[in-house]
Structure 1
Amino acid sequence: MVRHIVLIRFRPELSEADIAALFQELHQIDGKIPGLLSITAGRSESPEQIERGYMHGFVVDFSDWETLQAYQDHADHQRLGAKLVAGAVGGKDGILCFDLAVNAVKS
C-alpha cells in the first residue's frame, strides 16, 4: 500500500468553508480510480500544536505505486491540484507532499 500525505498552508483569506469545498472536491475522486482505497481530509487537531502553519491536509491510500500515478494523472486530480496550489501560501511552496510505502504487518 502507498500512503499519499499532503499538508497545506492555505492563504489566510480562504475561509474554512472554502477549504471544506476543496476537500469535498477531493472526495469526489473516490470511486473513479481502481485501487484508491481511502481519502481522509481536514484541519489539524494535534495537541502538540507544532504544525508550523500546515493546518490542513489529507491522506489518500492507494493499493500500489501505479495507482498513485493513475491518481496523479487523472484530470480531476489535475484540476483540484491547480486549485490547491492557487490557495496555498506561496503556491507550491505552501504544499508538502510525502509518499510512504506501508507494509502490512502480519501477526
Structure 2
Amino acid sequence: MKATSVQHIVLFKFKPETTPEKVKEIVAAFEALPSKIKEIKDFKWGTNNSPENLNKGLTHAFILTFDNEKDRDAYLPHPAHKEFGSVVGAWLADVTVVDFTDQAK
C-alpha cells in the first residue's frame, strides 16, 4: 500500500426485509465495480464476525483502495458507482463510510 493511498471503508446494515438472495445480488454488484472503475486498485469485503457486539447492526464491510484522493474523488461521481447506489439504496437501513490515508510510521 502506498503512503498516499486512500482506504474507502463502507459498512452496510440491511433492512430486515432484505432477503439473502438480494444481499448476494448487492454484493455481486459491488464486486463488479473494480472492473468498471479503473481508479479502484483493491477491493475486499466480508461479513461481521466480531465477538464484541459493537457493530450496531452493520453486517457487511467493504474496503476499496485508491492510489490517492484524486482517484477516490473520481470514483464517487462515476456513473457505475451511482448506478450501484441506486441498486443498494432501497435495501439499506444504514450505511457508514470512512475514508483515510495511512498515517502509520
- After superposition, what is the alpha-carbon deviation per residue over 1:56-105, rounded to whole angstroms, capped at 9, x for unaligned? 1211011111111111111110011122221111xxxx111101112575
- Identify the residue that residue 102 of structure 1 maps to in structure 2: 102
> TM-score by structure 2 length?
0.84
SS in 2 for 1:17: helix
- Segments of 5+ residues of structure 1 without an aligned counterpart are none
| Superposition RMSD in Å | 1.6
Query: Share of identical aligned residues, percent?
Result: 26
- Identify the residue that residue 16 of structure 1 maps to in structure 2: 20
Q: Is the 8 A contact 1:38 1:61 kept in 2?
A: yes
- Segments of 5+ residues of structure 2 without an aligned counterpart are none
Q: Which has the higher strand share?
A: 2
- How big is the shift at 1:55? 1.0
CA distance in 2, matches of 1:36, 1:103: 20
CA distance in 2, matches of 1:27, 1:56: 13
Give the number of equivalent residue pairs.
101
- How big is the shift at 1:16? 2.4
